[in-house]
């Protein structure tokens, strides 16, 4: 549907974009993200034929934008950041004007304009002067002018920018509906908008694509470890030990509550008591025995053929010869939180999904999982990771280039 091959744009005084490559398949809604000045608008203006690339090629529906600009443009609808409206015109007269410009046959115009006004909730406003429309309705009209010629590809530059929350919800609903019959590329600064609307994310930074992925695969692409948060009904120590021994689990962290669990797998109060009773292994550092260590329980490497075990469990069993903690917990002597539940974060060694082994391990032991939720890097975290550039901190090169470009102007087609 859309092929962007090695596209670069050099402005007189600044880089626009360099070596952009991506394709879009029919039916996709792609979110195009990037910080200010990253190159979103430049890319969109080249795709829509309003700006010529310095190098590279763009094909829409197999048509080269350079060789067949008019035909290629006919298959694209474009909503720039500021909708290209004529404030003195009425809604209907404006849509008729755009339909003429876009070569919509005169015999089809009345029906087509009526359908679009209905679809975009502009019915009843056809004789209203555009200047008197609210911003939300102007945006609807902007969308209407983008689809009046029934394009295959819709390119929307920050379509919800400047709208109030109610208008944002309405425009998103319209975009979702338009996505049923159109391929959509939309730029936005609102990251939840991508989760709400898009089935693919492109992130551009400093003129280059730095990420191209489906939202649900972002964490894996970023090398995120697989983590789940859990609420389990059962004795804390026993639950921790069972989880620590679950195949694929690398660390277990007890969350919340007044007492944090220490590296020996015991709460502060328990640790002191246990140390006094000589239950903790003597080679444990004092700090750990006193509960000052992290609440994260890494799993000790397992000998070949054995399951990994949390350090806490190994410390307890090495002194207690398995007699103490494990039996105690099963016989109800291990600490049970007041409401009988424990909240934990469980991390895998890598990106392997550990939900099933975790589920079966706790089910076998008879400890019900009240809640299990996959934790992943948020789009915000990923965006910041990819677009925060330490190099810029000292040099200020991008800012200088931008301000130079603004002063010096540039070259638009």
Ligand X SMILES: Nc1ncnc2c1ncn2[C@@H]1O[C@H](COP(=O)(O)OP(=O)(O)OP(=O)(O)O)[C@@H](O)[C@H]1O
We find the least distance from the C-beta atom of residue 44 to ligand X, in angstroms, to be 8
Torsion angle in degrees (nearest 10) through CA of 102, 103, 105, 111: 0
Give the count of residues interacting with ligand X (CB under 6 A).
Answer: 17
CB-nearer residue toward ligand X: 166 or 391: 391
- The reply to whether 41 sits near ligand X by the rule CB under 6 A is yes
CB-nearer residue toward ligand X: 282 or 407: 407
Q: Using an 8 Å Cβ cutoff, are 203 and 387 in contact?
A: yes
In the DSSP assignment, the letter for residue 129 is B
Torsion angle in degrees (nearest 10) through CA of 141, 142, 145, 148: -70
Please report, as residue ranges, which positions from 9 to 28 form the binding site for ligand X (by CB under 6 A): 11, 14, 16
Long-range contacts of 95-98 (CB under 8 A, 24+ apart): 95/141, 95/144, 95/145, 95/148, 98/145, 98/148
We find the least distance from the C-beta atom of residue 56 to ligand X, in angstroms, to be 15
For ligand X, the binding residue among 24, 33, 38, 289 (CB under 6 A) is 38
CB-nearer residue toward ligand X: 285 or 409: 409
We find the least distance from the C-beta atom of residue 199 to ligand X, in angstroms, to be 22
Can you name the residues that pair with 76 across neighbouring β-strands? 153
CB-nearer residue toward ligand X: 11 or 22: 11
Q: Which position's Cβ is nearest ligand X?
A: 410
For ligand X, the binding residue among 8, 42, 225, 314 (CB under 6 A) is 42
For ligand X, the binding residue among 37, 49, 234, 245 (CB under 6 A) is 37
Q: How far is CA 301 from CA 166, 196, 249, 253, 298, in A?
A: 54, 41, 11, 17, 9
Q: Which two structure tokens, joined as six digits, stand for 369?
A: 């999982």
- The reply to whether 31 sits near ligand X by the rule CB under 6 A is no
Give dist(CA 338, CA 275) in Å, integer.
23
We find the least distance from the C-beta atom of residue 403 to ligand X, in angstroms, to be 8
Can you name the residues that pair with 58 across neighbouring β-strands? 4
Backbone angles phi, psi at 172, to 5 degrees: -60, -40
Containing 184, the helix (H) or strand (E) segment is strand 183-187
Can you name the residues that pair with 251 across neighbouring β-strands? 298, 347
CB-nearer residue toward ligand X: 33 or 178: 33
Residue 216 burial (10 A CB sphere; 0-12, 13-18, 19+): exposed
CB-nearer residue toward ligand X: 25 or 406: 406
CB-nearer residue toward ligand X: 39 or 53: 39
In the DSSP assignment, the letter for residue 322 is T
How remote is the C-alpha of 262 from its chain's centroid?
34
Interface segment toward ligand X; rule CB under 6 A; list 29-37, 314-322, 361-369, 389-397: 29-37
For ligand X, the binding residue among 20, 24, 30, 34 (CB under 6 A) is 34
- The reply to whether 7 sits near ligand X by the rule CB under 6 A is no
CB-nearer residue toward ligand X: 4 or 274: 4
For ligand X, the binding residue among 40, 138, 236, 309 (CB under 6 A) is 40
Chain residues in the site for ligand X (CB under 6 A): 11, 14, 16, 34, 36-42, 401-402, 405, 409-410, 412
């Amino acid at each position: 549907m859309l092929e962007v091959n090695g596209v670069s744009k050099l402005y007189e005084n600044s880089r626009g974009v360099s070596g952009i490559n991506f394709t879009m398949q029919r039916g996709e809604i792609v979110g195009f993200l990037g910080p200010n000045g990253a190159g979103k608008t430049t890319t969109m203006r080249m795709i829509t034929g309003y700006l010529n690339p310095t190098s590279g090629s763009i094909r829409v529906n197999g048509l080269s934008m350079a060789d067949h600009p008019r035909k290629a443009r006919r298959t694209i609808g474009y909503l720039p950041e500021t909708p290209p409206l004529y404030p003195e015109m009425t809604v209907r007269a404006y849509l008729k004007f755009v339909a003429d410009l876009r070569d919509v046959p005169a015999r089809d115009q009345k029906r087509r304009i009526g359908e679009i006004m209905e679809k975009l909730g502009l019915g009843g406003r056809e004789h209203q002067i555009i200047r008197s429309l609210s911003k939300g309705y102007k945006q609807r009209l902007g969308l209407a002018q983008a689809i009046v010629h029934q394009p295959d590809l819709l390119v929307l530059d920050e379509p919800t920018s400047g709208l109030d929350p109610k208008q944002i919800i309405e425009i998103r609903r319209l975009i979702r509906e338009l996505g049923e019959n159109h391929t959509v590329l939309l730029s936005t600064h609102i990251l939840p908008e991508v989760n709400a609307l898009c089935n693919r994310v492109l992130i551009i930074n400093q003129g280059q694509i730095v990420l191209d992925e489906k939202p649900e695969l972002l964490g894996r692409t970023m090398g995120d470890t697989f983590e789940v948060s859990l609420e389990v009904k059962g004795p804390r120590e026993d639950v921790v030990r069972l989880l620590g021994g679950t195949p694929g689990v690398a660390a277990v962290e007890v969350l919340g509550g007044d007492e944090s669990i220490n590296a020996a797998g015991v709460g502060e109060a328990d640790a002191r008591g246990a140390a006094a009773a000589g239950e903790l292994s003597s080679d444990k550092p004092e700090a750990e025995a006193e509960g000052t260590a992290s609440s994260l329980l890494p799993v000790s490497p397992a000998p070949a053929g054995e399951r990994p075990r949390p350090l806490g469990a190994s410390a307890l069993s090495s002194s207690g010869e398995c007699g103490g903690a494990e039996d105690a917990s099963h016989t109800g002597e291990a600490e049970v939180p007041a409401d009988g539940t424990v909240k934990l974060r469980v991390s895998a060694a890598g990106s392997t999904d550990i939900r099933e082994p975790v589920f079966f391990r706790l089910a076998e032991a008879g400890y019900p999982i009240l809640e299990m939720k996959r934790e992943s890097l948020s789009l915000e975290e990923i965006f910041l990771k990819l677009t925060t550039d330490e190099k810029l901190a000292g040099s200020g090169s991008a800012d200088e280039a931008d301000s130079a470009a603004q002063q010096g102007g540039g070259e638009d087609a």
